Amino acid sequence: MDPALLKERELFKKRALTTPAVEKKKTEPKVDSNKDAKKKFKPPAPAAPKMDINTYKTSTGSSQYRFGVLAKIVNHMKTRHQDGDVHSLSLEDILDETNQLDVGSKVKMWLQSEALPSNPKVEVTQDGRYVFKAMYKLKDRKSLLKLLKQQDLKGLGGVMMEHIQESLPHCDKAIKTLQNQNEIIFVTRPMDKKKVLFYNDRTASMPIDEEFQKLWRSVAVDAMDDAKIDEYLEKQGIRSMQDHGIKKPSAPKRKKSSQRKRQFKKPRDNEHLADVLETYEDNTLTQKNSV
């Protein structure tokens, strides 16, 4: 190798060692400590407000609560009527007896203005108090027997047992007494098994021969409807009864008025002044001749 080049190489190394070298540090991106702190610290979500029973009861939007209060009032009025307490009560007395004194003012206004006056089972007295409105106004067993007699005389049939239980205070005792006196008859409807109470008119009862009763009971008509029974009776030469119940009187038909053509009469002028009008032609002629 050329010795001149080796010398230059050695001189370059010496100069390089004597001259200080400054290294540039890599700049790292600045980190915002506030942002990291914000990311790490998340505030807790606001807890849902707890439902208080008092605020729920007084809230106007809770229609379920309002109708629950109304149902409790109606059931209490019915129960006290059946127990014989038929005197009227104010709204405050009703709420006190049903343990509902914590009802809000808006619900009270709704009860007084809309709910209780329009309820079919509650009657408002003249002094603004409330009583239970039963199906029938019955006080004792005598009034019940009178009602059943009227139903029988008018051909309206019996009265539902549930309506009597609702209307008559202490009805079980009154019904048991009438049943022991053979004044009433129970009939159970086959469709819904509900009991119907009828007046037992003993004047309409007649003795029937036992043989006829046996023949009557031996005929099975369970699987036959009314149309088949009517058809069978007609074949045997027996006319079945068609008029069931009370017929409503039909309204009389209006007679059609005969449409006559109206003749147009011409107006007549001053006919009522025919005797008063006078002609002056003759008078004027006589006056001219005399002149």
Residue 87 has pLDDT above 60, yes or no: yes
In the chain, the number of structural domains is 2
Q: Given this model, what pLDDT does residue 249 score?
A: 61
Does residue 80 sit in the same domain as residue 146?
A: no
Question: How are beta strands 159-160 and 130-132 bridged, if at all?
Answer: unpaired
Domain boundary among 132, 166, 197: 132
Domain assignment present for residue 28? The answer is no
**CB neighbour class for 138 (10 Å; exposed up to 12, middle 13-18, buried from 19):** buried
Domain assignment present for residue 169? The answer is yes
Domain of 98, CATH number, reads 1.10.10.10
Domain boundary among 102, 132, 162: 132
Does residue 87 sit in the same domain as residue 156?
A: no
Domain assignment present for residue 196? The answer is yes
- Count other Cβ atoms within 10 Å, centred on residue 177: 13
Within the chain, where are the H helices? 3-18, 33-40, 53-58, 63-82, 91-97, 105-110, 116-118, 141-153, 161-167, 171-180, 210-218, 226-235, 281-290
**CB neighbour class for 77 (10 Å; exposed up to 12, middle 13-18, buried from 19):** buried
Domain assignment present for residue 219? The answer is yes
Q: Given this model, what pLDDT does residue 141 score?
A: 86
Domain assignment present for residue 251? The answer is no
Q: Given this model, what pLDDT does residue 188 score?
A: 87
Within 190-240, where are the H helices? 210-218, 226-235
Does residue 172 sit in the same domain as residue 230?
A: yes
Domain around 215? 135-234
pLDDT top residue among 244 and 112:
112
> 19-33, 48-62, 162-176: which has the minimum mean pLDDT?
48-62
- Paired tokens of 28: 């790292």
Domain assignment present for residue 124? The answer is yes
Domain boundary among 132, 159, 178: 132
Q: Given this model, what pLDDT does residue 229 score?
A: 81
What are the φ/ψ torsions at residue 240 (nearest 5 degrees)?
Answer: -80, 155
Report the pLDDT averaged over residues 107-127. 89
Does residue 152 sit in the same domain as residue 163?
A: yes
Domain assignment present for residue 140? The answer is yes
Domain assignment present for residue 50? The answer is no
pTM: 0.51
Does residue 120 sit in the same domain as residue 140?
A: no
